[in-house]
Amino acid sequence: MAGFLRGKQAGIQNDLSAAILPGLFAPDDQARFGINSQVSCLAYNPVQSLLAIGTNETSFGSGQIYIFGQNRVQVVLPLPRRASVKTLQFVSDRLISLDSKNELIIWDLATGKKIANYSPPGVVMALVTDPMLDWALIGLQNGEVIAFDIDREKLAPLRLPNFWRERNPRSRLLSIVAMQLHPRDIGQLLIGYTEGACIYSFKQARPIKYFDYEVPVGAPGGDSDPEAAEKARRPRLTNVFWHPTGTFVGTAYDDASMVFWDPKDGRIVMARTLTDCHVNKPGTISTAFGNTPGTLAIKEPFARIAWCCKDNPDDTGILIAGGAVTTLPQKGLTFLELGPTPVYATSTWPILTDHFKTKKQHFLPTPEGAEIVDFCLVPRQSPHFAGGQNPIAVIALLTSGELITLSFPSGYPISPTNQLHPSVCFVHPFVTSIAVTPVDRGRWLGMTESRQQGPQLVKGGAEATHPMKRFEARNIIQMAHGDGTVRIWDAGHADELENSTVLQVDIARALARYDDVNITTMSMGSSTGEFAVGTATGEVVIYRWGGNKLYGREAPQAVETVTGGITDISTRAEPPLKEGLQPFVLYDMAQGPITALKMSDVGFVGIGSEGGVFSIIDLRGPAVIFKSSTADFAKADKRSSFIKKGSSSSASGKDWPVVIEFGVMTLEGDNYSSIACFVGTNMGKVATFKILPQANGGYSAQFAGVTSLADKIISIAPIVADTGRPAAATGPSVAGLRDGRQTHGTLVVATQTEVRIFKPATAKGAHKSWDDFLCDAARVTEFEDRGFALVGVFGDGTTRAYSLPGLKEIGVAKLSMLDKTRTTSAVVTSSGDILGWTGPSEIAMISVWGTGQPLPKSLDKLYNPQAIVPPRPTISNIQWISGTQYVSPTDLDLLIGGPDRPPSKRMMAAAAEEDRLARLGSPGSARIPGSQSTEGWGEYMTRQLNERTEKLNIMGDSMDNLQENSAGWAEDVNKYISKQKRNLVLGGLTGKWF
C-alpha cells in the first residue's frame, strides 16, 4: 500500500521496477584499478618487456605483486600470507620475490602461479640472480651465503662462510649488505660486508681479493664535519658494484663516499663523493657545501647505485640515488658520465685515476618535497650488466610512495599516459579525485588523441579475449592527479575494450601556472565529449575535441586571464598534442573552490562554487547567461521552515551548490517543455531554472522555484514519468521542443537521509527516509531494458536497490572490499556499476546486477616463449689468454649444485630438441649451447689446458714471425742506407774530376 501511495504522490502511474526481482540484485566484483598499497619495489624485464611492482603490507591489505604489459595487460600475484614485498627479480620465465617474512617465492610467468617457496635460516640481506642461471644466491645477516636451485626448487649444497670474519675474527656484527656477480665472468661473486668487500672465486673456492677502506688522518673522507679528519675512520659499507666489463670494483659507504678499486691488485684507484675527488688523501681540501668553514650539512645515504653502460660496455656512467647534502632545494638522481674506459693494459695509473673525475655530471630532478628511495632502469634490449646496458628511461620510487619516469640520461619527465598501465598512473603521481561519465560508444571510439611520444617502454604480454558489449555506454573515468593533469580512460564493463587508449589534459598549462593547482571537480559530456574541470582557486577550464593550430610550437604571445569573466585559452594547447582535447575557454569565477560542475550535451555548463554562487555558461558565445547566489534560493523558499522542522541541518549556515543536472521536461504549472537546470545544495535545497531561447538566437535562464529537503543533496535524476528513462538534455530531446513535443518528467532526488520523487519545481511528491544509515552515493540505474531502480551506496558499507516509484527495498548487499571511510567518493553509474575506493590508490568496479561472482583472476598472458634471453657476456680472448679462468654456466652448475645434481629442465629441453633435429636429419643438429655435456671434469680441465697451450703456442709463433720479419726489415733498411751513402760519395767524386 505504501508503494501505491508513493506512486500516486509522485505522479507516476506505472511500476518502473516491476520486472526487477530481488534475486537479480547480486553484485559481481568485476575489476580493480590502481595499486592496493604503498609501492615498495620495482623490476623490469627487457626481454619480455614487462614491469613488476611490489607493495607493502598496510591496513588496506597484504603486499601484492603487479605485473604489467602493453595496453591493459595486468596480472596480480597475491602473497600466500600477509607480508610486504622487499625484492623482485626476473629470471628467464620466472619471477623471484622476497618478502618481509624472509620467504623466497618463485612464480611462473607463463601460468601466473607459485611453483616453489623457501624460507632461509636467517634474515635475508641480499639476493642475487642472473637471467641465464638457475641459481639464487642469498646473503644472510650472519654473513653466510647460500644458494637456492630455481630449476630444481630446492636448496643447493653450496654454503659460503663469513669470509670477513675469517679474515678479521675480532670484528662484530658482520652482516652482508650487498652482492653482485661479475658482469662477464660468472665465476666471480663480489660480496659486501659492513666492514669491507671481497671477490669470491667459485672455481678456486676461496676469496681471491679483499677490499678494506680506511680514511687516514688528515683526509676529509665523505664526512661533512671537518673535525672528523683528525682521526682515522672506517666508514660502514653500504653497497658494492662492478664496472660493466669487470675492469674496476666500486664500493659505497655511509659517509656518502665511493671508492673505486683495481680488482687485480686491490689498490684504490679513486675515492670520491658526488662533488669532491681524492677524499682519501691527507691534505685534500673539500669545496662542497657543508665542508667549508661556516657551513654544515648532513649528506643523504646512498639509496641505490647502478653502473650503466652504452651498447659498448666500456662507455660507462654511474647513476646514483642519494649522496647529496640534505639542504639542497632540488632533489633527484645524479649521473656521473665517465665516458670510454681507458685500456687497462696500456694506461698509466694517473690516466686511470683521472677517469673517475668524470667527463660530465648530470642531475635528474624529481618533484619538490620527495626523495628517491629506489629506481629501476629500463634497458632497451639486454637484461645483462645488472640491467644497466643502454637504458632508455629510469622509473624512480619516491619516499611518498609515488613513481616518476625520467628519460635517461637527460632526466626529462616522461608522462605515463599510453606508456604505462592506467593502474600505474594511480601512483604516477597520486590521484586526488575521480569522476565517471557514461559516454556514448560511438563518441568514445572517435576520441583517440594524436600526440608526439617516445618509444614504448612496456610492450610485452597479450590481453585475454573478453565478451563484447557494443550497445552500452562506456564507463569513462576522469582521474585528477596531484600535478594538475587529468587522465581519461575507459574502465569498460568487464568486456572487450575497443578503444583502450588514455587521454591527457594539462590543467596547469591551461591555467598558465604550475603551483597551487588543485582539481576539485570534473564533468564530461556524454555525447559531445566536451570536458570541464574546476579548481580550488575558483577557475573552470573547458576543453573541446579538435586539432592544435599551434602544434609543435609555443604561442607567440601570452594570454592574460580575465578575472570574473571568460578567457579564450586556445593558444595554451600542449605543443606535442596534434589532435585531442584542446583548451577552449577559462572561466575565472573567483568565488572560492568549485564545488559542482556539469557539462551538458546541448552546449550549457552549470557551475557552483563554495562562495554560494551559481552560474550557467552558454558555450555558443561563449557567455555567462546566468549568475546568482544560493541566498536567493532561501528567499524564494516560502515553506522551508515547515519542511525542515526538526531537521538537524535546519540551523542557519553557509549554502553552496553540490549537484547540478540538466534535463528536458514540463515543469509544474507549464503547458510546454523546456530545458531545465536543477541545482542541489549542501543544505538540502533543489532549485530549478528554465533555459529559454531568445529572439537574437541566444538563451537566457530564469529561476523557476525551489524545494527544500532534509540535508545535503547526493544526486538528482530527471526521469520520464511513464517509462523511467532519463529525461536528459540531449540533442534529439532539445530538437523536439521546436515541434512542441512535451516530456512529462519527474525528479528522483537522494539526500543523505531520504529520497524524494517529485515534479519540479516545488511539488512535494513522495519520499522515504533512511534512519539507520547515511546515503553516500546514489543513481537511477537501468537493468537490461527490464526496468529502473534507485541504487545507492551507504555509510554502513552496503549497497541497496529501491523500486520506483514505490521505493521498496529490492535487495541489499555488503561491499566489504570498499574503504568505509571513503564511500562518500563512490560513484554509481546509470548501468548499475559502482566504482569506489578500496585504499589510497585503488578503486573497485562492482556491477550490482550480477550473480554474486567474486573478483575474477586475470587471463592475460605474460610470457612470450619466442622472446629468448640473449647470451650472457663472457670474458674476452685477451683475458682468457692472460690466465683468467673461464667458467661456463655448466661449470657453475657443477660447482654450486655438486656432481649429483641432475640436468636442469632447460638443458633437458635443449637435449630433446637436439635429438629431434638429429632424427629429422637437420644440419643444425649439433650440440646446442647450454645443453648437458657428457665430458667429465678431468677431461674438461685437460681440454681447457690443451686449448690454452695451443693458443699460447700460436701466440709464440706469431711473436717469432714478427721478430724475424722485423729483423729482415731492419737489414733491408741498412743495406738501402749504405747504398745511398756510396752513391753520394761516388757521385761527388765524379762531378769534381770529370
Q: Which residue has the higher pLDDT, 236 or 916?
A: 236
Average pLDDT over residues 3-31: 82
Q: Are 948 and 934 in contact (CB under 8 A)?
A: no
Q: Which residues, other chains included, contact 968 with Cβ-Cβ below 8 Å and sequence gap of 6+?
A: none
Nearest alpha-carbon partner for 531 in 440, 598, 617: 598
pLDDT value of position 862: 96
Query: Which of 92, 119, 146 represents a domain boundary (last residue)?
Result: 119
Average pLDDT over residues 899-907: 77
Residue 477 in any domain: the answer is yes
pLDDT value of position 927: 41
Residue 653 in any domain: the answer is no
Q: In what order do the strands lie in the sheet with 842-847?
A: 28-34, 842-847, 833-839, 827-828
Lowest-confidence pick of 24-33, 640-649, 744-753: 640-649
Please name every residue paired with 58 in a beta bridge, in sequence order, or none if there are none: 61
Q: Are 372 and 396 in contact (CB under 8 A)?
A: yes
Please say if the pLDDT value at position 951 is more than 60: no
Please say if the pLDDT value at position 975 is more than 80: no
Please say if the pLDDT value at position 720 is more than 50: yes
Length of the chain: 994
CATH number of residue 73's parent domain: 2.40.10
pLDDT value of position 149: 94
Query: Which of 70, 95, 119 represents a domain boundary (last residue)?
Result: 119
Kindly tell me the burial class for residue 978, based on how many C-beta atoms sit within 10 Å of its own C-beta (0-12, 13-18, 19 or more). Answer: exposed
Instruction: Classify strands 431-439 and 237-242 as parallel, antiparallel or unpaired.
Output: unpaired
Share of the chain above pLDDT 70, in %: 87
Average pLDDT over residues 177-192: 95
Nearest alpha-carbon partner for 181 in 120, 140, 143, 132: 132
pLDDT value of position 344: 87
Please tell me the number of Cα atoms within 13 Å of 386 on its side-chain side: 27
Average pLDDT over residues 515-519: 93
Please say if the pLDDT value at position 965 is more than 80: no
pLDDT value of position 238: 96
Residue 567 in any domain: the answer is yes
Torsion on CA atoms 901, 904, 909, 914, rounded to nearest 10 = -60
Residue 560 in any domain: the answer is yes
Lowest-confidence pick of 720-729, 885-894, 904-913: 904-913
Average pLDDT over residues 47-56: 97
Average pLDDT over residues 979-994: 58
pLDDT value of position 518: 96
Ranked by mean pLDDT, the top range of 488-492, 692-696, 913-917 is 488-492
Cα distances from 602 to residues 154, 624, 628, 730, 911, in angstroms, run 67, 15, 21, 6, 70
Q: Which residue has the higher pLDDT, 873 or 251?
A: 251
Please say if the pLDDT value at position 641 is more than 60: no
Average pLDDT over residues 158-174: 88
Lowest-confidence pick of 113-117, 347-351, 647-651, 847-851: 647-651
DSSP string, 181-194: E-SS-TTEEEEEES
Buried b (16+ CB within 10 A) or exposed e, 828-865: bbbbbbbbbbbbbbbbbbbbbbbeeeeeeebebbbbbe
**E-strand stretches of 795-919:** 798-803, 809-814, 827-828, 833-839, 842-847
**What is the rounded distance in angstroms from the CA atom of residue 190 to the CA atom of residue 239?**
10
Please name every residue paired with 336 in a beta bridge, in sequence order, or none if there are none: 318, 361
pLDDT value of position 690: 95
- Full domain range(s) for residue 99: 36-119
Cα of first residue to Cα of last residue in the chain, in angstroms, is 150
C-alpha 171: how far from chain center: 43
Q: Grid coordinates 539507520 are at which residue? A: 772
Instruction: Classify strands 304-309 and 604-609 as parallel, antiparallel or unpaired.
Output: unpaired
pLDDT value of position 992: 44
Share of the chain above pLDDT 90, in %: 70
**What is the rounded distance in angstroms from the CA atom of residue 420 to the CA atom of residue 410?**
20
**What is the rounded distance in angstroms from the CA atom of residue 155 to the CA atom of residue 732?**
71
Residue 17 in any domain: the answer is no
Q: Which residues, other chains included, contact 858 with Cβ-Cβ below 8 Å and sequence gap of 6+?
A: 74, 75, 76, 112, 464
Please report, as a single letter, which amino acid is at residue 240: V
What is the C-alpha R_g of the chain?
36
Lowest-confidence pick of 771-780, 815-824, 854-863, 969-978: 969-978
Residue 282 in any domain: the answer is no
pLDDT value of position 961: 62
pLDDT tens-place string over residues 539-582:
999 999 999 999 999 988 888 988 889 999 999 999 999 999 99
pLDDT tens-place string over residues 281-316:
988 777 665 555 556 678 899 999 999 999 999 999
Instruction: Classify strands 206-211 and 237-242 as parallel, antiparallel or unpaired.
Output: unpaired
Q: Which residues, other chains included, contact 419 with Cβ-Cβ below 8 Å and sequence gap of 6+?
A: 405, 453, 456, 457, 458
The number of folded domains in the chain is 2
Helices (H), 364-480: 384-387, 422-425, 441-445
pLDDT tens-place string over residues 349-378:
999 999 999 888 999 998 887 889 999 999
Lowest-confidence pick of 2-11, 525-534, 624-633: 2-11
Residue 512 in any domain: the answer is yes
Q: Which residues, other chains included, contact 38 with Cβ-Cβ below 8 Å and sequence gap of 6+?
A: 55, 56, 58, 401, 840
Please name every residue paired with 597 in a beta bridge, in sequence order, or none if there are none: 607
pLDDT tens-place string over residues 201-225:
999 999 999 999 999 988 888 876 6
pLDDT value of position 468: 86
Please say if the pLDDT value at position 711 is more than 60: yes
Average pLDDT over residues 705-725: 94
**Taking all residues of the chain, what is their mean pLDDT, rounded to a whole number?**
88
pLDDT value of position 12: 80
Residue 944 in any domain: the answer is no
Query: Which of 549, 575, 599 represents a domain boundary (last residue)?
Result: 599
Please say if the pLDDT value at position 48 is more than 80: yes
Lowest-confidence pick of 113-117, 720-724, 749-753, 879-883: 879-883
pTM: 0.88
